[in-house]
Amino acid sequence: MEVKKGKIEGLFTIEPKVFKDKRGYFYESFNQRLFEQHIGKVHWVQDNEAGSIKRVFRGFHYQVPPHAQAKLVRVTQGEVLDIAIDIRPGSPTYGQSESVILSASNQLQFFIPAGFAHGYLVLSDYAVFNYKCDNYYAPGHEGGILFSDPSFEIDWPFKPTSFLVSEKDQNLPILGSHRKFELIN
């Protein structure tokens, strides 16, 4: 596997070594030993999967300490624009985002440590999004940031007004109103 550091400290893109032949392909989607060598020790406790249609945006979500989550995300069908926003208090890159195209065809994975808000936009007609978490979902400890926050410098492939977004996500605050991790009410 090839691991590349992101432009923001703590983010990594992982490209697995894929073995292809006339039958199809094979690759290790996760190897704890190699992950620890390149990124560090993370104890995964939960795997999640979501299926979504084109233009669905899910996010920007996070959980507050002590329930903050690191995530390892990938797409097994279709294609998404995956985005992480640094919300670590005191970080020199606070409020900055990094995005990666994840797809079933490129088989990339994106590691997002705790302290980042996370979201993704479905680019294909349908996508299946998979992710590992190092902490359990804690409903009373979740927060979020409005996807259309004007302070974000995200090169959206579609106009945000055309996104399919949950009512909950449409009513999240903008980043400027966050002075620290805040909970969704």
| Catalytic hit among 61, 118, 141, 178 | 61
Number of C-beta neighbours around residue 166 at 10 A: 12
Q: Provide the residue type at 22 as one letter.
A: K
Distance CA 118, CA 131 (A): 11
| Catalytic hit among 120, 131, 141, 178 | 131
Total H helices, total E strands in the chain:
2, 13
CATH number of the domain at 2-177, please? 2.60.120.10
Distance CA 63, CA 182 (A): 9
Q: What is the pTM of this model?
A: 0.92
Q: E-assigned strands of 37-184?
A: 46-53, 57-63, 71-77, 79-86, 97-103, 109-112, 116-122, 126-133, 142-144
pLDDT band per the 50, 70, 90 thresholds, residue 173: very high
- Per-domain residue ranges of the chain: 2-177
Dump pLDDT digits (tens) for 6-45: 999 999 999 999 999 999 999 999 999 999 999 999 999 9
pLDDT of 179: 47
Q: Is residue 131 flagged as an active site residue?
A: yes
Q: Provide the residue type at 80 as one letter.
A: V
Q: Is residue 178 flagged as an active site residue?
A: no
Dump pLDDT digits (tens) for 87-146: 998 999 999 999 999 999 999 999 999 999 999 999 999 999 999 999 999 988 999 999
